[in-house]
Copies of this chain bind each other. A is one copy, B any other.
């Protein structure tokens, strides 16, 4: 309900083409879709540039599948995160084109070839146990139309693995750096680049990692300027933010 639409509506009221009651109703009717158990924000793509994404954890598989189906009826790609194979099985029945990443636990429905913007989102991770979160970030950015590169298993205990790829690292437009345990990798990478860097702590680690708290605090306290942090294991959020930044860089 942007200003242009509002102006048009007011002009219709002025001309008498639209009655008061009808205008009131229109002003009240907002762009979402009521499934009974959920209120789908069909308006979100217009407002934020990307359709609503379905976070499946804690939702009944049936509900999750119904919401995905409803979004797939609209334009643009559909993304569902933390989706169990069970949810995917339901979705695939209705939407055979839907694909599933076992590693990232995501369902993706793309109706047309996605745009491919210039620029590169580089997803780096510290260890092999961080792969699922890193892949969630990478897939999210890809579905949103970005070129994504992956640089995996380059933790700080063996710095040469990272330094061997310094050129690739410094060439990226925006970086997503995923690490568990002590969460040191974002600080090291941020000291080497001049581009925005999004740090993702993971719950990888045991004992005093306290479910990713250690890595989260480390990243928030990075001595490298400008490191931005998302929630523990939130690869989706990092990929989404990276996509927004790269779109901006691409003039979108």
Instruction: Answer whether residue A89 sits at the interface, using C-beta atoms and an 8 A cutoff.
Output: no
Copies, count: 8
Residue on B with the closest CB to A129? B58
Interface size class for chain A?
A: 35 or more
Measured between beta carbons, the chain B residues less than 8 angstroms from A248 are 173-174, 195-196, 245, 248-249
Indicate whether A163 reaches chain B with its CB closer than 8 angstroms.
yes
The answer on a CB contact under 8 Å between A217 and B208 is: yes
User: In whole angstroms, what is the CA distance A38 to B127 when docked?
Assistant: 8
Q: From the candidates B20, B207, B244, name the one contacting A10 in the complex (CB within 8 A).
A: B20
Q: Could you tell me the distance in whole angstroms from the C-beta of A182 to the nearest C-beta in chain B?
A: 4
From B32, B164, B205, A29 is in contact (CB under 8 Å) with: B164
Per the bound structure, the CA–CA distance linking A225 and B233 in Å amounts to: 14
A21–chain B nearest beta-carbon distance, Å? 9
- Choose one: B127, B131, B236; the contact of A225 (CB below 8 Å): B236
Complex alpha-carbon distance, A245 and B206, angstroms: 24
Residues of chain B within 8 A (CB-CB) of A23 are 10
**A3 close to chain B: CB less than 8 A:** yes
Instruction: Assess whether B198 is in contact with A188, with CB atoms less than 8 Å apart.
Output: no
Partner of A182, one of B44, B57, B206, B219: B219
Contact of A48 among B48, B194, B218, B220 (CB under 8 A): B194
Q: How far apart are the CA atoms of A20 and B191 in the complex, in Å?
A: 28
Taking CB atoms, residues of chain B closer than 8 Å to A184 are: 156, 182-184, 187-188, 218, 223
Q: Is the CB of A14 within 8 A of B16?
A: yes
Determine how close the nearest CB of chain B comes to the CB of A152; give it in whole angstroms: 7
Sampled A-B contacts (18; CB under 8 Å): A10-B23, A10-B24, A30-B161, A30-B163, A38-B152, A39-B153, A52-B158, A55-B129, A57-B129, A82-B206, A126-B223, A157-B222, A181-B222, A188-B188, A196-B248, A208-B212, A214-B220, A227-B230
